[in-house]
Amino acid sequence: MTWLRAALGTLAMALALGTASTAGTALADAPTWLERLLPALLCAAIAVLLIRPWRRRSELGLTGGLRPFLIGFAVTGGSAALMLGSGTALGWFRWGSFDLSAVLLFLLTNAVIALLLEAIPEELTLRGHTYSTLRAVHRPWIAATGTTFLFLLAPGLASVVQSVLSRLIGVAAPAPSLAPPGEDPISYFVLLTVFGFTLIAARTCTGSLYASIATHLTFLTVNRLTLFGADRDAGWSAETTTPDAVLLIPGYLLLATAGYLVIKRSNARRRFGGPPER
């Protein structure tokens, strides 16, 4: 029963994301801001309504306020700056021109959409509900591995939901698939696995889901502003000069994970005068 309850987080996220994706397709002729904002609002609303009424804030990790959010932002942003900066020094990136007004506008709009469509619903359902459910009866590594495995199932299930809903309302939809269209499945799942463990490390480091939300948002923002900035009119972008440059993305996630573990051990020593329990 524990694993079935934990899987409800994956199902909730799949339903929220699949419904939002269908709404985005149905709104294809609407103004761009409406096409992006309404599906994001719908995704967040469905995830919150399916999870929040049945779990206490403390169970979901909705504690700590601004401090863990800032820790998540600082650790992930700092790790990204270090790794991408090193890649730039090695000549792996060639940066384009910097448009301050366009960058600021992108940061604002991306933060709103990314929080509502991805960071808040995914963290609430998976690192909130699913991880807490598994951690209540299992050791930390089992709960972390189980949560990450269920996290990997969410995109594929969301594509099934989108396909079914699209047929019901008569709009086009891509065929169900394990990975998003255009993504190499192996690379996608490797990155998603590393990302999943980083997000759990953020929560366990601080005891707060807000650190995971900040980590999620920072990861999306860094990648979209730099590697995909040209496609999103972000005002700044980088062009890779070698295929090896893509390794820096999971690289900075691993560095962030290490940073969270260091912070966790430091906090444990300060509180209890010794190393944390393994």
The SS3 of residue 95 is strand
Could you tell me which of 120, 141, 126 has the C-alpha nearest to residue 41? 120
Which residue ranges in the chain fall short of pLDDT 70?
271-278
What does each C-alpha distance from 76 to 95, 99, 100, 152 come to in angstroms?
21, 24, 22, 21
Classify each residue of 95-105 as buried b or exposed e, where b means 16 or more C-beta atoms within 10 Å of its C-beta.
Answer: eeeeeeeeeee
CB 163 within 8 A of CB 19: no
Q: What is the pLDDT of residue 151?
A: 97
pLDDT for residue 230? 81
pLDDT in the model for residue 139 = 94
Burial of 256 (0-12, 13-18, 19+ CB in 10 A): buried
Structure tokens at 146: 């189980």
Q: What is the pLDDT of residue 274?
A: 53
Spatial separation of the C-alpha atoms in residues 242 and 272, rounded to whole Å: 47
Give the residue among 232, 258, 210 at the shortest CA–CA distance from 66.
Answer: 210
pLDDT at 229: 85
Residue 209 CA to residue 166 CA, distance in Å, equals: 32
**DSSP 8-state code for residue 245:** G
Residues in the chain: 278
The mean predicted confidence, pLDDT, of the chain is 92
Question: What pLDDT is stored for residue 28 in this prediction?
Answer: 82
The pLDDT assigned to 29 comes to: 81
